[in-house]
Amino acid sequence: MVLAELGGSISRALQKMSNATIIDEKVLGECLNEITRALMQSDVKFEMIRDMMANIKRIVNLEDLAAGHNKRRIIQQFGLFIASPCSTALHLKSLILINLAIEHKANERVTNRIRASTTSTSSSNDLLPQLPSIPYTNPVEPVTAHVIDLDLVGAHRIVHDDLVAYLVATAPLLRYGSVIASSSRSSGRIFEVAVFNELCKMMDPGKPSFSPKKGKSCVVMFVGLQGSGKTTTCTKYAYYHQKKGFKPALVCADTFRAGAFDQLKQNATKAKIPFYGSYMESDPVKIAAEGVERFKKENNDLIIVDTSGRHMQEAALFEEMRQVSEATKPDLVIFVMDGSIGQMAFAQSQAFKQSVPVGAVIVTKMDGHAKGGGALSAVAATKSPVIFIGTGEHMDEFEVFDVKPFVSRLLGMGDWSGFMDK
């Protein structure tokens, strides 16, 4: 599995931390070191790891925050709430109220009042007129993660980010009826969620990529470093869509690499996909334009343009790529990246993004041993999501990639894709 080893190391580190009887600076520090090491071994860019660690520390180290004192107390109160014997739904409401209070910079007096009324077992519904009611059948039955459904977060935007993290973290505890006994415990959970969020942030650029529509002509251009797997992946991408009912076509705009046209031709023939290219013409811009025009006429709805490998140190090669892009006006530019790439991943992918409008990333050769952390750099540098991964040399060794369920699985947190949607 992609990045699975990284996931394993991170969740082991987190597990070790949460098993500790007292979670103090030292325990958190050790955990961070282990996570840093796991990320380093997966080829995540050094500077990104450093920033990620700083962010996590910032979130966990409550005292450093401007609203520090208040928040710290509130977090401790959370502990109290959860431990107190009232219904789970009530906890939630009170949590949300406290968040409201924070949002509105309510003073401590208000927060205390809210606390006073919500901790009592009497109904506090009058305090919650503006909140949607939380569906629960039996007030003492633990609220499941799905009931919390961050609806409240997404739709009403009333919960402070860090506290959303806290809510999500405590959801499984609520579900299993556990309690949080001390504020030290909760800082452990916050920490865990901070890690989760930082990973999501790294992997998820926050916007989906263009996806082709059947029957509506579109052009997809593949770019990337030499030997990253563009030509192979072009065919895989075409074949994948062909099986879904698209009418793909392949254009070979690589006039440089020896045997490039033969490679594409043989792949396309195997997959029974029409192709265009030339042994004589040496101008990739011309071929690309001709190919696209031809397949538009033939009503192919997915026209895929393969280009030569290139790298940022050769300005002329980037200029050529820019021209191919200009001539073909692609709806989507896909950056293809080798999963074993190291610390150059960020600079190279950023350079591609600066020349052509990269909109998606495909990571190849994930059938090997590489942990694929370079993908994180590519996502950050291109602000584009990973949409597929290549898992072998054969046409069908190709998997759709979706980041959020992936990151949560990675951390052994179950599939929480619904929750993390903003």
Partner 1 sequence: MFQSISGNSVLEKSDLQPALKALKDRLMTKNVAEEIAEKLCESVAASLEGKKLGSFTRISSTVQAAMEEALLRILTPKRSIDILRDVHAAKEQGKPYVIVFVGVNGVGKSTNLAKVAYWLLQHEISVMLAACDTFRSGAVEQLRTHARRLQIPIFEKGYEKDPAIVAKEAIQEASRNKSDVVLVDTAGRMQDNEPLMRALSKLINLNNPDLVLFVGEALVGNDAVDQLSKFNQKLADLSAVPTARLIDGILLTKFDTIDDKVGAALSMVYISGAPVMFVGCGQSYTDLKKLNVKSIVKTLLK
Ligand X SMILES: Nc1nc2c(ncn2[C@@H]2O[C@H](COP(=O)(O)OP(=O)(O)OP(=O)(O)O)[C@@H](O)[C@H]2O)c(=O)[nH]1
Q: Which of 187, 377, 391, 408 binds ligand X (CB under 6 A)?
A: 391
Q: Which of 121, 182, 226, 269 binds ligand X (CB under 6 A)?
A: 226
- Distance, in Å, from the CA atom of 202 to the CA atom of 49, rounded to the nearest integer, reads 10
Residue closer to ligand X, measured from CB, 115 or 236:
236
Q: Which does 46 bind (CB under 5 to 8 A by kind): partner 1, Mg ion, ligand X, none?
A: partner 1
Binding of residue 282 to partner 1 (CB under 8 A) = no
Among the listed residues 140, 204, 190, the one whose alpha carbon sits nearest the alpha carbon of residue 160: 190
Element spanning 362, H or E:
strand 358-364
Per rule CB under 8 A, count of chain residues that contact partner 1? 47
User: Residue 146 to residues 77, 122, 135, 417: CA-CA distances in angstroms?
Assistant: 24, 25, 10, 11
Q: Select the span of 140-148, 262-270, 288-296, 324-332 touching partner 1 (CB under 8 A).
A: 262-270
Binding of residue 71 to partner 1 (CB under 8 A) = no
Binding of residue 313 to partner 1 (CB under 8 A) = yes
Among the listed residues 153, 112, 109, the one whose alpha carbon sits nearest the alpha carbon of residue 131: 153
Binding of residue 348 to ligand X (CB under 6 A) = no
Q: How far is the CB of 398 from ligand X (least distance, A)?
A: 8
Q: How many CB atoms lie within 10 A of CB 41?
A: 13
- Distance, in Å, from the CA atom of 112 to the CA atom of 94, rounded to the nearest integer, reads 11
- Copy the structure tokens of residue 333: 């530019």
Contacts (Cβ under 8 Å, ≥6 apart) of 40: 46, 49
Tell how far CA 145 is from the center of its chain.
21
* Per-position x/- string for 343-382, each x denoting binding to partner 1 as judged by CB under 8 A, each - no binding: xxx-xx----------------x-xxxxx-xx--------
Binding of residue 257 to ligand X (CB under 6 A) = yes
Q: Which of residues 47-66 bind partner 1 (CB under 8 A)?
A: 47
Binding of residue 259 to partner 1 (CB under 8 A) = yes
Terminal-residue alpha carbon distance, the chain: 27
Binding of residue 228 to Mg ion (CB under 5 A) = no
Q: Which does 340 bind (CB under 5 to 8 A by kind): partner 1, ligand X, Mg ion, none?
A: partner 1
Binding of residue 377 to Mg ion (CB under 5 A) = no
Binding of residue 264 to partner 1 (CB under 8 A) = yes
Q: In the beta sheet, which residues pair with residue 389?
A: 363, 399
Q: How far is the CB of 143 from ligand X (least distance, A)?
A: 43
Q: How far is the CB of 307 from ligand X (least distance, A)?
A: 8
Taking the CA atoms of residue 256, residue 259, residue 260 and residue 266 in that order, the dihedral angle to the nearest 10 degrees is: 160
Give the orientation angle of helix 4-19 with respect to helix 403-410, to 10 degrees: 50
Q: Which does 262 bind (CB under 5 to 8 A by kind): partner 1, ligand X, Mg ion, none?
A: partner 1
- Distance, in Å, from the CA atom of 129 to the CA atom of 113, rounded to the nearest integer, reads 16
Q: How far is the CB of 183 from ligand X (least distance, A)?
A: 47
Binding of residue 227 to partner 1 (CB under 8 A) = yes
User: Residue 408 to residues 179, 222, 282, 379, 396: CA-CA distances in angstroms?
Assistant: 22, 29, 48, 18, 26
Q: Which of 263, 278, 350, 417 binds partner 1 (CB under 8 A)?
A: 263
Q: In the beta sheet, which residues pair with residue 360?
A: 334
Q: How far is the CB of 338 from partner 1 (least distance, A)?
A: 7
Interface contacts to Mg ion, rule CB under 5 A:
230-231
